[in-house]
Amino acid sequence: METANAPKAADADRRLFVYNGGFLTEKRIKRILALCGYQVRLGAPGPQDMVGVWGNSPTAHRGEAVAEHRGVGLLRVEDAWLRSLFPGRAGAPPMGLVIDGQGVHYDAQTASELEVLLATHPLDDTALLDRARGAIERLKEAHLTKYTAFEPATAVPPPGYVLVVDQTEGDASLKACGADRNRFLEMLFIAQEEHPGARIVIKSHPETTQEYRPGYYTQADLADHISLLDSPVSPWTLLEGAIAVYTVSSQLGFEAIFAGHRPRVFGTPFYAGWGLTQDEFPVQRRQRQLSRAQLFAAAALIYPKWYDPFADRLCAFETALENLAAETRAWREDHRGWVASGMRLWKRGPLQDAFGTHKPLLFEDHPAKARATKRPWMVWASKAAVGHADALRVEDGFLRSRGLGAALVPPLSLVIDDLGVYYDASKPSRLENLIAARATLRPYQARRAEALIRQIKSAGLSKYNLGGRQPELPQGHRILVVGQVEDDASLIHGGDSIRTNAGLLKATRTANPDAVLIYKPHPDVEAGLRRGGELSDDLADVVVREADTIFLLQEVQEVWTMTSLLGFEALIRGVPVTTLGLPFYAGWQLTNDLAQVPPRRRATPSLAGLVHACLIDYPRYMHPDLKTACPVEAATDWLAQADPTPPRSWHNRLLSKLQGLFASQARLWR
């Protein structure tokens, strides 16, 4: 989605003089400002320059004095509402900034650009408001907030409590409205008075919990019916159980609005005064009545400047949201550390990159020793045995790489399955559940999946993205028959009565005697890295070797396969698919299935629902250049732009050649 946050022409390359070291040392802040048209400088500003300060921070007075003395404009900069995994004091770079030439959003003494926006913008565009509603739902679904390093499953108190929100001492938003400890004590008193006999839960600020700054409430303020919640929990889960919310100016009050509350506000934050809060100190300038979607659209979609580190550009809110969601998912799954079994030596580096960012992986093949680590346990799916029943299965994702896994090209997507694995139809898998759940899509989910389908089709992406020849093909009703590696796990566990390439070709010919059968061997077989069975010349009309898969899908009228992923890629491109086995995409009434479908597969998702489950929900992606978790859109952007023949190290080339020599003993090296 394109961003509307590009700099105005008048701001292009405008010099911004600063007197706070953070503007110079924090690369992300400096980069966002540059993309917004501000070049950070030291020294004395000239008549056409501006001075930049960080909100109303303790150092802001330096810049304010210079701006007043030199008679130049003042630009106030602050973090945006979605910031990072951890607070800025932990060194995490922000996802975006709010940049305001009129004031600062949390100081109601002067109308900020955000206040003017909320007061005067029509906020009546249907598409904009639909985006706002979708973004709110996505925030709830992914449990995202300003700082996201918490586990959504962490328990909150039983429902029915009054939520009172603490903040950090000396916070600029509190100074702006004159709030001190007495204000917080007054808020606590009124909460009890308005809800006699109710349980009161005081929520500590994340920076207080992590001992960066103290809060206003102490142990002396607690009582039998008043408790302090200082564990990191999901704000959305916490708000769901609350019967009322009290805050001075916390962002949690902003989120409470979208959780269905009308929070009682004892300060003057930007979200107060628009008919969505109960205000103790009304701002008389704010008289407009807004809907929740209008408030969110202005405050989150229009006002901030969001940044995409994968494309190094300003972006829409949704892009920043998905970037943070991917990073957060990785932290939530990885921060306790993993122990891994059944991982070949060449895979360990990429696995460490993918799962060991927050705590390095331990590699241990002995089941008892792996369990003794007390860590979450993963095993490569094809290596899982009887002793691995309680381990999670790991496999390559469906948009894997530019190059073959058998040639030791590392994956940019991996899946973790706690129920089974996607290619084993004999038992349930996490993917099956996700596909069934996506039989119903919210509008924002459908938009995202449909946009991803368009991106994949326009960029010509597939699992391995090998490119290849575009051969001349005979005229007629063309059926692409997809060869597979005959000892592949997907055939062993997902095949039906026909499990050989010769059997597949014979069955296709029997059912389609007059069709033109175009047989494509598996890339691993073509490369001499795996075995694919011997074929006689008369089984297919054409055998296309080293051919471009995407070109073939554009030239054929059908695809017949046992369990190949190419069938899924054909569905994405609107090509009818017949399956003779039980691949993950079969059984949902999107394919013509000749094998007996498990009764578990009763849902009827759309193609968008299938794609959402398979490419958005199920895999995790790691950006090959930045070595960090990323959403599928960043991965597909990289695949679309990457060199189709990436350089490989000499030892990888040597190992892949040795694998070719020992293809019949694949179990030794895969």
Q: What is the pLDDT of residues 269-293, one digit of tens each?
A: 999 999 999 999 999 999 999 999 9
Whether 526 and 599 share a structural domain: yes
Q: What residues form DSSP beta bridges with 200?
A: 162, 226
Q: How many folded domains does the chain comprise? A: 4
Tell me, what's the pLDDT at 656?
Answer: 46
Digit-coded pLDDT (tens) for 186-224:
999 999 999 999 999 999 998 888 888 999 999 999 999
- 435 with 568: CB under 8 angstroms? no
Q: Are the C-beta atoms of residues 238 and 162 closer than 8 Å to each other? A: no
Asked if 268 and 359 sit in the same domain, the reply is no
- Asked whether residue 120 is assigned to any structural domain, the reply reads no
154 shares a domain with 213:
yes
For residue 79, list its beta bridge partners: 97
- In this prediction, residues 531-539 reach a mean pLDDT of 68
User: Of the candidates 399, 434, 469, which is a domain's last residue?
Assistant: 434
Question: Domain for residue 298, yes or no?
Answer: no
Token pair, residue 205, equals 């600020």
Q: Tell me the pLDDT band of 104, cut-offs 50, 70 and 90.
A: very high
Q: Are residues 226 and 252 in the same domain?
A: yes
Q: pLDDT digit string (tens) for 325-370?
A: 999 999 999 999 999 999 999 899 999 999 999 999 999 999 999 9
Q: In one letter, which amino acid is 569?
A: E
Residues 392, 487, single domain; the answer is: no
Mean pLDDT, the chain, integer: 92
Would 668 be classed as within a structural domain? no
Q: Give the domain extent around 89.
A: 1-110+304-334
Position with higher pLDDT, 660 vs 318: 318
What is the percentage of the chain residues whose pLDDT exceeds 90? Answer: 83
**Residues 97 and 162 grouped into a single domain:** no
Of 65-74, 377-386, 408-417, 490-499, minimum mean pLDDT range: 490-499
Q: Which helix (H) or strand (E) holds 136?
A: helix 126-142
Rounded average pLDDT over 551-567 = 97
- Mean predicted confidence (pLDDT) in 432-449: 97
Model confidence pLDDT, tens digit, residues 219-272: 999 999 999 999 999 999 999 999 999 999 999 999 999 999 999 999 999 999
Residue 287 is assigned to a structural domain of this protein: no
pLDDT of residue 497: 86
Element (H, E) at 66: helix 60-70
Q: In what order do the strands lie in the sheet with 516-520?
A: 542-543, 516-520, 478-482, 558-561, 577-579, 592-593
In this predicted structure, what is the pLDDT of residue 663? 39
Least confidently predicted of 73-82, 188-197, 262-271, 521-530: 521-530
* Residue 294 within a domain: no
pLDDT of residue 664: 39
- CA-CA distance, 291 to 623, in Å (whole number)? 38
Domain boundary, last residue among 279, 313, 343: 279
What is the per-residue pLDDT for 536? 60
**Cα dihedral sign for 29, 35, 38, 41?**
positive
User: Are 239 and 189 contained in the same domain?
Assistant: yes
Residue 60 belongs to a domain: yes
Q: What is the pLDDT of residues 29-51, one digit of tens each?
A: 999 999 999 999 999 999 999 99
Mean pLDDT confidence for 621-640? 96
Burial class, 502, CB count within 10 angstroms (exposed 0-12 / middle 13-18 / buried 19+): middle
Band of pLDDT at residue 157, cut at 50, 70 and 90: very high
**Apex CA 531: angle with CA 526 and CA 532, to 5°?**
75
Amino acid of residue 424: D
Residue 197 token pair: 């006999």
Asked whether residue 9 carries a pLDDT value surpassing 50, the answer given is no
**Residue 659 pLDDT more than 50?**
no
Q: What is the pLDDT of residue 3?
A: 46
**Which pLDDT belongs to residue 660?**
41
- Domain co-membership, 325 together with 342: no
Residues whose CB is less than 8 angstroms from the CB of residue 571 and which lie 6 or more positions away in sequence, other chains included: 577, 585, 590, 591, 607, 610
Can you give the pTM of this predicted structure?
0.92
Q: What is the mean pLDDT of residues 379-390?
A: 92
Q: Is the model more confident about 617 or about 387?
A: 617
Mean pLDDT, rounded, for 310-317: 98
Q: Give yes or no: residues 161 and 206 share one domain.
A: yes
Helices assigned H by DSSP within 143-228 = 172-176, 181-194, 206-209
- 339 with 322, same domain? no
Q: What percent of the chain has pLDDT over 70?
A: 92
The answer to whether residue 667 sits within a structural domain is no
Chain centre distance of CA 314: 17
What pLDDT is attached to residue 657? 46
> Is the same domain home to 273 and 364?
no
pLDDT at 666: 42
Residue 658 has pLDDT above 50, yes or no: no
- Let me know whether 174 and 267 are in one domain: yes
Structure confidence at residue 529 as a pLDDT band (50, 70, 90): low
Q: Which of 368, 403, 434 is the last residue of a domain?
A: 434
Residue 474 domain flag: yes
- pLDDT score of 665 more than 70: no
Q: CB of 470 within 8 A of CB of 547? A: yes
